[in-house]
Amino acid sequence: MDLPVTSQHKKFSYPSWIVNVIGFTLLIAIVLILFIWQQKNIRNTLQRNAGNRARMVGTLIEENMANSVLTQATIDQIVSSFLLDKARFIDYLNNIVPLSTEELTELAKETGLLQITVSTYATPAQSAVKGDAHTALCVPPFNKVKYGHKQQIGYLNYSGTQSATDCINISLDASSIFSLREKTSLSNMLQVFSNLPGIYSVTLNTDEAAHVKQTSITLRKVNDLMVAEAQLRTQWGRLSVTIDATNFEIRQQQLRKHFFMITTLLILLGTLFSWLLYQYQQADIRRTRSYEQMIAKEQEAAALGRATATIAHEVRNPLNAIGMGLQRLQLESNNLEDEDQQLIQAMGQAVHRASAIISKLQRFTRPLVPEKTDIEPAQLIDQLLQLYLQQLQSQRITLSTEYSFSGSIEGDRNLLNECMENLIKNCIEAQPDGGYIKIRLFQKRAMVGIAILNKGFNLPQNQWSRLGTPYFTTKANGNGLGLALVNKIIEAHGGKLSLLPDAAQQQLTVQIFLPEGRPPKIKTADIA
């Protein structure tokens, strides 16, 4: 008994392959979300790395610049102290005995100075010059070292403390000091940091310090190279640190490649599993429908069997009584007219035909259990055709046979003989004005096929589907059980019956497929 399906069950009942597609779609969505998360995580890592490097470089630059300023101040203090001591010594000597130019020159050589100029109140300036040294003489500020960048010299103007000396100007070679300044300069430090591994460039803009409030990271391409530029504010200006982001780009490409590979694999697997589930579901539906059809046929056969038994019981006895009465009338009524005799004979034939229909109906409704033996189908067909040769000739029906199979099959001889006789009779009755019958016996894989083709088929196409169904017939005196009984006999043998109409040629081909028989046993005597 079929149970009703509620609307709620229909609402939540989906085919398994659709559920599978939804599941794989969700899985692909999860993979996409994971891919986006990984991309974002890598970008955040790169930004943190770039920011940390920028802050590190900025801190190092600030520390180095502070150390450079401190070093320069220390050097200036040392040089100032050195030159101030020399100037005081020269002032002391000049106040004892005024120094001549030769003496100043010799003193400059001994002390490693480039120039010594002494100005007194009584005499003009006495100068001792080594090389091409020119300095501003006796101009403020005093007692503090100054540098001449063009000549790369350091000089000091000393205001004399003795009454005889007005001003002393001394200078020395400062090329080593300038070299140290160059090495500790900001531009040199930026170049050194730019050459570090993983850093593309380091630049400092002293005019834009106020425009950068916090560290900012920008990804861009420079000469087909992916870089990350970090900008931060320092006390020297806006610092831009550009680091190499090639590994980031490579990692992104790997993630994209892995994502597409996994997505493609999931799509292929989802398609494959969905197709397999769809095929399995369709096969299950076909099995269910076949089972339902089989149950329906069994129920129909059971109902028909009960109806047939009732009809046979209720109708056959009256028919037998009528038949016996008609026979008695024929035997005892010798004075009947010819017309009455013909009426009694026709009534007897009608009773006989009705009894035959009941017998055939009983035979159709009863289960068939073939008693299988080895049968040669070619021999069975030839023996049956011998009975109809005269009728074929009288109706001008041409017969042709083609046997490409000469083996045997397992079947019930009587049932198969009845089956073939029914088909041949149908072929003959379909061609009252002549035609042809072609019988072909062949083998197809493990099945033996019998094809019977005849002319005279003129059934409308809208009725082709009814061929072989019980009680469908185009004959005036037919009962519509012939082909249905043939189909039942073939199915009882594990075979298959198919009808192939051809409206253009007005012919019908009936194909029967039966299992091939077992191979013959070889006797010991035959081997010997």
pLDDT tens series, the chain, 528 aa: 444 444 444 444 677 778 888 888 888 888 888 888 888 888 788 777 777 777 777 777 778 778 878 888 888 888 889 888 888 888 888 888 888 888 888 888 888 888 888 876 555 555 555 444 445 566 777 788 888 877 788 888 888 665 567 788 888 888 888 888 888 777 888 888 888 887 888 888 877 544 555 667 777 788 878 888 878 777 777 888 888 878 877 887 888 888 888 888 888 888 888 888 888 888 888 888 888 888 887 776 677 667 666 666 667 677 777 777 777 777 766 676 777 777 777 777 777 777 767 766 666 666 677 888 898 999 999 988 888 888 889 999 999 999 999 888 888 888 888 888 888 888 888 888 889 999 999 998 888 999 999 887 777 777 766 665 665 566 655 555 677 778 888 888 888 888 888 888 888 888 999 988 765 444 433 433
Residues in CB range of 209: below 8 A, 6 or more apart = 233, 234, 235, 236, 237, 238
- Number of other CB atoms surrounding residue 300 within 10 Å: 12
The burial class, CB within 10 Å (0-12 / 13-18 / 19+), for 39 is middle
For residue 8, being part of any structural domain is answered with no
- Number of other CB atoms surrounding residue 317 within 10 Å: 10
Q: Are 435 and 455 in contact (CB under 8 A)?
A: yes
**CA-to-CA distance for 259 and 31, rounded, in angstroms?**
7
Same domain, 271 and 310: yes
For residue 5, being part of any structural domain is answered with no
For residue 468, being part of any structural domain is answered with yes
Antiparallel, parallel or unpaired: β 397-403 and 435-444: parallel
For residue 100, being part of any structural domain is answered with yes
For residue 525, being part of any structural domain is answered with no
For residue 523, being part of any structural domain is answered with no
For residue 520, being part of any structural domain is answered with no
Same domain, 299 and 197: no
**CA-to-CA distance for 519 and 409, rounded, in angstroms?**
9
Q: Which amino acid is at 387?
A: L
Domain termination residue (choose one: 343, 363, 383): 363
Element containing residue 498 per DSSP (H, E): strand 496-502
For residue 418, being part of any structural domain is answered with yes
Q: How many domains does the chain have?
A: 3
Instruction: Calculate the alpha carbon distances from 28 to 24, 34, 54, 258, 278 in Å.
Output: 6, 10, 39, 13, 21
- Number of other CB atoms surrounding residue 131 within 10 Å: 10
**Token couple for 448:** 């033996």
Same domain, 208 and 266: no
Query: Tell me, what CATH number does 410's domain have?
Result: 3.30.565.10
Instruction: Calculate the alpha carbon distances from 320 to 255, 306, 307, 485 in Å.
Output: 92, 21, 19, 25
Range of the domain at 273: 250-363
Q: Is 205 helix (H, G, I), strand (E, B) or coil?
A: strand
Tokens 């780009």 sit at which residue?
249
Q: Are 422 and 363 in contact (CB under 8 A)?
A: no
Instruction: Calculate the alpha carbon distances from 516 to 3, 145, 365, 375, 440 in Å.
Output: 43, 123, 27, 10, 16
Same domain, 291 and 390: no
Chain centroid to CA 136: how far? 85
Length of the chain: 528
Domain termination residue (choose one: 244, 277, 300): 244
**CA-to-CA distance for 220 and 228, rounded, in angstroms?**
6
Same domain, 224 and 334: no
Same domain, 221 and 95: yes
Residues in CB range of 76: below 8 A, 6 or more apart = 145
Same domain, 163 and 214: yes
Same domain, 164 and 276: no
Query: Tell me, what CATH number does 342's domain have?
Result: 1.10.287
Same domain, 204 and 102: yes
Element containing residue 230 per DSSP (H, E): strand 225-234
Nearest to residue 112, comparing CAs of 173, 177, 157?
173
Is 0.85 topped by the overall pTM? no
Same domain, 225 and 167: yes
Same domain, 213 and 187: yes
Domain termination residue (choose one: 302, 332, 363): 363
Same domain, 175 and 304: no
